[in-house]
């Protein structure tokens, strides 16, 4: 079955879509549908992700593209089980016209706009949130407000630490339902676990080693939080990349990969400065060297940072300078 003649780029795209999907679309609506999917399509690595939760004086919605040049994913934080807060709430409040204008500017600059879910103040498993209903509600929010996807910043430490597997099961069901509503390849779906959750044998339910085995194929990449885990954890290139401490064994970047997690899904997450995390900070110029070392060993997943405006265009320019210069 063949579609009617399209522009060159959409002819190339047609190979990516099955005949059944093409046949289900009205002929006169196919161009629009293809364009919408292209706009939302998951970007290839490397991923340079910046979160935005802080209120910024004079800002009305996400910052100007020039302020975040060098990043390719901007995460509005947070959408909670109770609804939108902080930058996610601001995205709602600026109105449809402003959202459309900002979205177009970000698309032109190659920057995806996503929303981050939960964060440190939301504990969905411990509070008994239904994973299917929560996923449905959050996916509907993403569609209503025209975003490119979600980041699952699950920080329900009590549930993981319980070691009974309930947290892992909740995350699996939640992720599966998100993917039902936000199809792979059309919407970004990432997770942001802390690095120790990949440490073998430390958690009764297996933490993110179990999550990856169960639903890892549905997750585009992991924005791994290599911070807030102890004053000396992940603070040198060696500790970050090849040899974690005995407190969180086998949780450095390449050690996580050795446990079976795809190396190309492991995005290095760091705080922008010492004030953005309790510990785990590495100065941008030093981090640039660590990133270059990782790339030399075959890694190219990218870097995540918490948060804007402490991390902006100049921060990512420095961090990218040795391995991924613009």
Would you give the end-to-end CA distance of the chain in angstroms?
42
Provide the pLDDT for residue 14. 40
- In terms of DSSP H, where are the helices of 109-206? 131-144, 157-162, 166-181
Encode pLDDT of 272-286 as tens digits: 999 999 999 999 999
Q: Quick one: pLDDT at residue 33?
A: 53
Whole-number pLDDT of residue 34:
55
76, β-bridge pairs: 52, 115
**pLDDT tens digits for 34-93?**
555 556 678 999 999 999 999 999 888 999 999 999 999 999 999 999 999 999 999 999
pLDDT digit string (tens) for the chain, length 326 residues: 333 333 333 333 444 444 343 444 444 444 555 555 556 678 999 999 999 999 999 888 999 999 999 999 999 999 999 999 999 999 999 999 999 999 999 999 999 999 999 999 999 999 999 999 999 999 999 999 999 999 999 999 999 999 999 999 999 999 999 999 999 999 999 999 999 999 999 999 999 999 999 999 999 999 999 999 999 999 999 999 999 999 999 999 999 999 999 999 999 999 999 999 999 999 999 999 999 999 999 999 999 999 999 999 999 999 999 999 99
SS3 content of the chain, % helix, strand, coil (to 5): 45, 15, 40
Q: Give the tokens for residue 216.
A: 């890892």
Give the DSSP letter of residue 298: T
Tokens of 280: 């785990």
Beta-bridge mates of residue 270: 305
Q: 3-class DSSP state for residue 50?
A: strand
Q: Which DSSP string do the residues of 25-45 spell out, in sequence order?
A: S-GGGHHHHHHHHHHHPPPPS
Pairing of strands 221-225, 188-191: parallel
User: pLDDT at position 41, please?
Assistant: 76
3-state secondary structure of 176: helix
- pLDDT value of position 98: 97
**Confidence at residue 23, expressed as pLDDT on a 0 to 100 scale:** 41
Please, are residues 295 and 268 in contact by the beta-carbon 8 Å criterion? no
**Residue (of 103, 75, 76) closest to 88 by Cα position:** 76
Domains of the chain: 45-320 (3.20.20.80)
């Amino acid at each position: 079955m063949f579609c009617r003649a399209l522009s060159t780029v959409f002819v190339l795209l047609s190979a990516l879509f099955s005949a059944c999907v093409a046949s289900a679309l009205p002929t006169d609506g196919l161009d629009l549908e293809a364009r919408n999917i292209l706009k939302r399509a998951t970007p290839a690595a490397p991923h340079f992700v910046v979160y935005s939760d802080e209120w910024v004086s004079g800002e009305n919605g996400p910052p100007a593209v020039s302020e975040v040049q060098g990043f390719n994913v901007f995460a509005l934080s947070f959408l909670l089980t109770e609804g939108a807060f902080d930058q996610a709430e601001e995205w709602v409040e600026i109105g449809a016209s402003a959202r459309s204008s900002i979205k177009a500017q970000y698309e032109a600059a190659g920057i995806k706009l996503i929303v981050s879910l939960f964060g440190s103040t939301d504990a969905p498993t411990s509070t008994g949130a239904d994973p299917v209903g929560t996923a449905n509600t959050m996916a509907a929010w993403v569609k209503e407000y025209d975003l490119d996807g979600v980041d699952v910043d699950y920080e329900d430490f009590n549930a993981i630490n319980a070691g009974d597997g309930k947290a892992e099961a909740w995350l699996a069901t939640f992720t599966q339902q998100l993917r039902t509503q936000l199809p792979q390849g059309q919407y970004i779906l990432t997770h942001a676990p802390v690095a120790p959750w990949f440490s073998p044998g430390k958690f009764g339910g297996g933490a993110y080693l179990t999550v990856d085995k169960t639903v890892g194929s549905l997750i585009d990449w992991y924005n791994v939080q290599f911070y807030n885990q102890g004053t000396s954890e992940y603070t040198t290139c060696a500790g970050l990349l090849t040899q974690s401490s005995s407190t969180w064994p086998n949780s450095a970047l390449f050690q996580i990969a050795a446990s079976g997690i795809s190396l190309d899904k492991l995005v290095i997450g760091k705080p922008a400065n010492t004030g953005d995390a309790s510990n785990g900070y590495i100065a941008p110029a030093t981090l640039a060297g660590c990133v270059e070392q990782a790339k030399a060993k075959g890694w190219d997943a990218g870097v995540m940072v918490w948060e804007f405006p402490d991390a902006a265009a100049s921060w990512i320019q420095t961090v990218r300078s040795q391995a991924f210069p613009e």
